[in-house]
Amino acid sequence: MVSALAVYHGAISKLECEDRLGKMGKDGAYLIRDSETIQAAMCLCVYRQKVTAPGVEEKLFKTLEELVQHYKHRGQGLAQHLRHLVKRKTLLQLTAPNVIDEEPDYESR
């Protein structure tokens, strides 16, 4: 379960994320948060004081653990490999998942 991972910070804003990473202040510090713009997506956020890479090739992973392990190694497309996990200080409060309504909101004729 994602919420059990210390690296997962839940629904924090981009600004809050930058603040948490900045407080650690180490290149390679990282955390995972919920996306603010894409529902059910997550963001891997990595701290680097220098210029960041212009883009990273899209890769898909079955689990967050696989993603983190992959990017802990140098030369995987990130400007800075993952080095320092930023742990959240409090437990996440879980909410019930959204139930998807299988019936359309419109009538087709």
Residue 20: its pLDDT value, please?
93
Q: What is the mean pLDDT of residues 22-42?
A: 90
- Token reading at 82: 């993952």
Would 93 be classed as within a structural domain?
Answer: no
Weakest-pLDDT range from 5-9, 24-28, 48-52, 89-93: 48-52
CA 69/CA 74 separation, integer angstroms: 11
Neighbours of 87 (CB within 10 A): 13
Residue 98 maps to a domain: no
Range of the domain at 24: 2-85
Domain CATH code at residue 54: 3.30.505.10
In a domain, 41, yes or no: yes
- Count structural domains, the chain: 1
Q: Residue 108: inside a domain, yes or no?
A: no
Q: What pLDDT does residue 15 have?
A: 93
In angstroms and rounded to an integer, the radius of gyration of the C-alpha atoms of the chain is: 17
